[in-house]
Amino acid sequence: MYIKAFLIPTRVNPGGWTVSLLRARLQFQPAILCEGLIASPVGHFPLETSMAYVVYHVAYSGLPRDHHTIFVETGGDGPETGHIFHVMGDIQTGMTFENKPAKKPDESATFVSKERIGSVTHSNYPQILIICQTIPPPKKQFQGPKRLYPDEPLRRCQEWTADVIKALTDAEILQRS
């Protein structure tokens, strides 16, 4: 009998996930539990949404340019909810990477647009965080009104997001639609 409360991931290895289940250590591969459900080390999900998550390029209004993010619709907190990957800050002080759970992007007061860019399989989803962490966030590019690196193009959240989308596509983690 499968009891979700006892499914606790302990480590990842090439042969699958090792989990603790009622004091027993078992090799675990995602498996269909019963009609319409699939189990994984991060929980169990409806079969129709467990094989791939939809990935969006989302824009929110901002000054001087709109703020761009990557939103993966995982449904973890209900329909159309998921996880957001983006950089925060500005080019006067430098930007930092952030990832966090998110509600429906289009319910935000600053929402501008949401473009479906592809999908990611459930098994490749953790790779998004790894790829995002390999793309450096935009650094401090100004000291007051003076550009610190005049020979380099300005790089903001839009450029970082485009770089991540390209890296995810090149690594075949993001399946473009």
Give per-residue pLDDT as tens, 52-103.
999 999 999 998 899 999 999 999 999 999 999 999 999 999 999 999 999 9
* This model's pTM is above 0.75: no
* Strand pairing class (142-143; 52-60): unpaired
Angle formed at CA 69 by CA 103 and CA 130, multiple of 5 degrees: 100
Show me where the domains of the chain are located. Answer: 4-50, 52-176
Residue found by looking up tokens 């979700």 in the block: 4
Residue the block writes with tokens 């989302």: 58
Crossing angle (nearest 10°) for helices 125-134 and 157-170: 130
Task: Calculate the CA dihedral of residues 133, 77, 31, 1 and round it to 10 degrees.
Answer: 130
Q: Cα–Cα distances in Å, from 121 out to 69, 96, 133, 163, 172?
A: 19, 27, 19, 20, 10
DSSP letter for each residue of 8-41: EEEEEETTEEEEEETTEEEEE--EEEETTEEEET
- 113-138 pLDDT tens trace: 999 999 999 999 999 999 999 999 99
pLDDT value of residue 69? 99
Give the pLDDT score at 51: 85
Strands lying side by side in the sheet with 82-90: 94-102, 82-90, 67-73, 52-60, 111-121, 175-176
